[in-house]
Amino acid sequence: MAKPLTDQDKRKQISVRGLAGVENVTDLKTNFNRHLHFTLVKDRNVATKRDYYFALANTVRDYLVGRWIRTQQHYYEKDPKLGLDMEELQDIEEDAGLGNGGLGRLAACFLDSMASLGLAAYGYGIRYEFGIFNQKIVDGWQVEEADDWLRYGNPWEKARPEYMRPVHFYGRVEHTADGVKWVDTQVVLALPYDTPVPGYRNNIVNTMRLWSAKAPCDFNLKDFNVGGYIQAVLDRNLAENISRVLYPNDNFFEGKELRLKQEYFVVAATLQDIVRRFKASKFGSTEFVRLDLSSLPDKVAIQLNDTHPAMAIPELMRILVDVEKLTWEKAWDIVVRTCAYTNHTVLPEALERWPVDLFHNLLPRHLEIIYEINRRHLERITKLYPGDLDRLRRMSLIEEGDIKKINMAHLCIVGSHAVNGVARIHSEIIKDTVFKDFYETDPEKFQNKTNGITPRRWLVMCNPGLAEVIAERIGEDYIRDLDQLKKLLDFVDDDSFIQDVAKVKQENKMKFAAYLEEQYKMKINPNSMFDVHVKRIHEYKRQLLNCLHIITLYNRIKKEPNKSWTPRTIMIGGKAAPGYHTAKMIIKLITSIGDIVNNDPVVGDRLKVIYLENYRVTLAEKVIPASDLSEQISTAGTEASGTGNMKFMLNGALTIGTMDGANVEMAEEAGEENLFIFGMRVPDVEALDKKGYDAASYYRRIPELKQAMDQISGGFFSPSQPDLFKDLVNMLMNHDRFKVFADYEDYIQCQEKVSALYKDPKEWTKMVIHNIAGCGKFSSDRTISQYAREIWGMEPSLEKIPAPDDPR
């Protein structure tokens, strides 16, 4: 028989019913339990009162929010506005500009694919308060503005203070009978914010977890002197500066203490989170908790996205040896089997080399661990190659010299079970050059994983017209199996398909032309070829080669104004690192050329030059679907992969490019005859390096090149300051590492072929169809499936799980 209710029970029941109002109490309890599951900290066997409090508060908030909104409508919106424009609302959303160039965007594509392939994966990073700067062009120069992307809040994130973790800096190391202790440290708290990452039509939502730095309550207060309280509270900013701003360098290493703090901060917080989740039992269960970490590599894979999270290797060693008390040998085996490293660049100025003195001060225990890793590593190399002292020097994790430095790429290779490049040619280059010694020692470690892009964002979302035209021919399954685009080869001679593809491109161009007119007050010819070069501004990406083509084309039109020229609108965009003088001068040169070309009545609308200000993902989503020609013109052997090249290809642009990065595989997939390939190949570049690159010889031999350079150096494009571009001219003539002049002739001839084909719209569009049909390989679903099977030991799944309101 049921026990009679006490007065207190009755009051509780009334309060629950009162809270529920007319709502079903069962629904309320279900909602409460769902929130409790979400709130529950999994490394505790039972929920705390705080967990119950938050679950209850969130349940009440859910109940209130709908009524709150309804009340405001009742008070203030007697005549509610209907017919909201979805695109207008999308434009209000801020870009989360939490990376520099392709690296952060690649990670976003990977998160999309991991969720779409049913892989239990987290993406970890820093929640920068200020992301990549907003670029303004003022009088033709780049001016940076802070990217205050959080000023109106971020509706997609959820703070998770219950998972907050301490991160230690500075201090000193004590070697005691009980083991090693890192003491007298400064503590910064890492507060996680979770963003949902939905898979494609499979009801799976993974997590991106970004860490924000918070000062602990007692920060600087325990030792402040009389009257120092206010300053101590203000000094909390010093701790919280760690997640304040993204360093805006792409492919360039800047060895600042704050940057090393950022790198260790994200690693230390993430590894605590990983170990906590590994130790915790099944979700919501209060049973057995794992205490033995020897099976960590069977359950956890850590992929190091470049060397920026390299500190994961010594930090995991510190946790396993100092905290969990494992032997060095056992700990090292776990670390190597857990970690894998992706290399993203071969440029020497981009490779991270941290001064030992900085480590000694900031992370003294990690320096000891790195020294011990290096000692054992060199011991092994000595046994394999006795007497080869030069090899020992080359392979050491510590570079000797005026300033002793830690080579983070070497640390990553030694501490990982797999090392990969991001395009076939790049993976070969790292084995042949930068990491040759390591490849000879451990060839089985080295793999290739050619980059990819998500077709959900980079076709279906940004180019719905083209996605629909494709779906009408081959169905919708290609969206999750991009290899099916091969079926479009059956339609390459189909007149109606050719027309449909051309029509979608023209509509996209008209729309983008209207956008440009609104933004730049410049009328452009939508029937002109949209020739687009968008990426970070860097000497190796050779925006200067594009400039020389523009000047050459301009000079030719001026020379023969009555000839039938293929009209072009040349658009160049991208940000320069604020401290990169040459890159900023390149932007000024482009805008100065535009000022002359765009205002010359002889040229008219046959040639226009537009600098696309503040290039970012949301602008890419507009310009890429409208592009006819994609410029991928880096010096062979310098661009690791590129992903913009794939986006243009998938959206029906043709590529003019060198045999560099993923361009090589794009030519293989679509047929080399369907890309405009020009310039030196890697062996040609190496041969020219051996022989010695002499820019002046090209300048003397090629009249159009000489004319263009003389115009730049003589002030034709900067009449009020004739020597404005003297530094660029000096670089091109005397110390151009990227050999612009060596590819000039071939580039100009290749551009002539482009112009000729554009005059035959049907043949152009057939070539476009060949390219779209060859895009299957460049889905990030393929890339991630290969990482999963060949590095992480996981099997992707296309299974759809039940929605929350479906029966389990």
Residues serving a catalytic function are: 344, 535-536, 541, 643, 647
Helix or strand or coil: residue 450? coil
Largest CA distance in the chain: 105
The token duo for 239 is 């701790």
Partners of 188 in the beta sheet?
167
Which residues lie closer than 8 Å to 631 by C-beta, 6 or more apart?
A: 531, 532, 533, 546, 656, 657
Long-range contacts, stretch 36-40, CB < 8 angstroms, 24+ apart: 37/283, 37/284, 39/162, 40/284
Q: Report how far residue 626's alpha carbon sits from residue 511's, in angstroms, rounded to the nearest whole number.
A: 8
Tell me the CA distances in angstroms from 420 to 341, 424, 667, one per residue in order.
7, 10, 22
DSSP readout, 272-335?
HHHHHHHHS-STT--S-----GGGHHHH--EEEESSTTTTHHHHHHHIIIIIS---HHHHHHHH
The DSSP secondary structure of 11-30, one letter per residue, reads HHHHHHHHHHTTS-HHHHHH
Residues 169 and 188 sit within 8 Å (Cβ to Cβ): yes
> Among candidates 501, 458, 502, which has minimal Cα distance to 479?
458
Under DSSP, is residue 80 helix (H, G, I), strand (E, B) or coil?
coil
Structure tokens that stand for 737 in this block: 């590492």
* Distance between CA atoms of residues 341 and 315, nearest Å: 15
* Residue 393: both structure tokens together: 């020097």
φ, ψ of residue 141 to 5 degrees: the values are -105, 150
Amino acid 726 reads: K
Identify the residue whose tokens are 């708290």.
189
3-state DSSP call for residue 533? strand
Helix, coil or strand: residue 303? strand
- Helix, strand, or coil here: 386? coil
Q: Are 751 and 656 in contact (CB under 8 A)?
A: yes
Q: Give helix 25-39 / helix 49-76 axis angle, nearest 10°.
A: 120
The tokens for 751 are: 């551009």
Could you tell me whether strands 353-355 and 398-399 are parallel, antiparallel, or unpaired per DSSP bridges? unpaired
The closest of 663, 438, 444 to 541, measured between CA atoms, is: 663
d(CA 16, CA 10): 10
Contact 743, 680 (CB under 8 A): yes
Q: How many other CB atoms sit within 10 Å of the CB of residue 238?
A: 14
Phi, psi of 234 (to 5 degrees): -65, -35
Q: Closest Cα partner for 185 from 166, 199, 157, 204?
A: 166
Using the structure block, give the residue that is written with the tokens 């007697």: 78
Beta bridge partners of 125: 210
**Mutual angle of helices 761-773 and 663-670, in 10-degree steps:** 110
User: Cα torsion for 748, 750, 752, 757, to the nearest 10°?
Assistant: -160
Neighbouring C-beta atoms of residue 91, cutoff 10 Å: 9
Residue 186 parent element (H or E): strand 186-198
